[in-house]
Structure 1
């Protein structure tokens, strides 16, 4: 997996130049290389990710995009072999630009992982806003992966990043998927939702390259109709990301829409 991440990084970074962009009609591009690890006592779990998105403006209002995501796992505290959660994701986007800085549309994605014998397919809707280093995006997707009681998994979320003075940025994100299973202290089994809430701080070097540190919390919530329940043992993780953004608005409107990126840590623990 490390070799695949390194090779893909070199190929993508060498192609995303202004000359290449003008040749193929590329309007925006982004690359993000990140690593996150759980911080709990006795936890030894790490996810490394490489995501890249390219957007092509067909007309002033219609944009098509393509995203590739590679995700690798390592560590000794997974309930299963860590590498079983390695995944490769391809996402296609079709966007309508309502204004020069906002876009909304649909996406389809397909994902392969050893954790599931067949590809996981996704369809969903998304919205993106970007102006320089300030951005907001939201999405909701439905998979064809059956969960408990044969209900298919759904997932969604939103993320905000705000550019500050002197190149600094701050951000926050919320992502969730369902259904999962929760058990109350009284032993009652409930359908639940797994959540991922994170805050971040970063720095933009002014040439498209940025770095970001992230602190996140994985939890689980459920409701029996009268009472709300939350996890008694949420997982905390720390992440570090390096990114490169290119485009008239400072980067892409959207990004890879991966169920396994969100769910891999959580499926193993909740």
Structure 2
């Protein structure tokens, strides 16, 4: 069998999958091997090629689904809200709370939030989905004095952004953010239902109240790279933009 056969299979499947809604379950290795009269190795290589093209997502222990890779935009002009970001990208968000407990604030979190190590802090651990498929998992650290009733509130309001607005009377915005590509550890892979060693985004952010400057929370979020593309938007101040492009400004 020519070495390019798996690519021919991938090309044909790509054309077919393009007409399916995101999150549609598609044929696995066995079905593909039977359909195209090839061995399992070629079928597996075709699926891996489609995964490399970000056209499918393989969910460990469940199967293969058509993918819709959306943009996760980090910008000073956008609210630091997972659900709002996903909806604005045209997908359906959902989050599942793994735990919400009060723990002593670890050194890393205390450093990010300008607090004392050991202060009481909520660690909100959640897994999030886009279009029904696992996309993100991580921790959100909120000092207890910011929202004392967080454990109760999160049962009724899934958006931490809205809880901070309503119960802390804050207007959350990003104070700082950083993103890097990492490899999925066993724990991260279990939560994201991918394979250990797969590339994942690690996004860390500190959010503050836009009015008072008070630091509100620190988040660590691991994101499947085949589910989202992380984008940073840097927008120049209006005055600086006008000064740089006077001709454009007069039009």
For Structure 1 versus Structure 2, the TM-score category normalised by the shorter chain is: under 0.3
Larger radius of gyration: 2
State the TM-score, normalizing by the size of structure 2.
0.26
Superposition TM-score, scaled by structure 1 size: 0.25
Structure 1 or 2: larger strand share?
Answer: 1
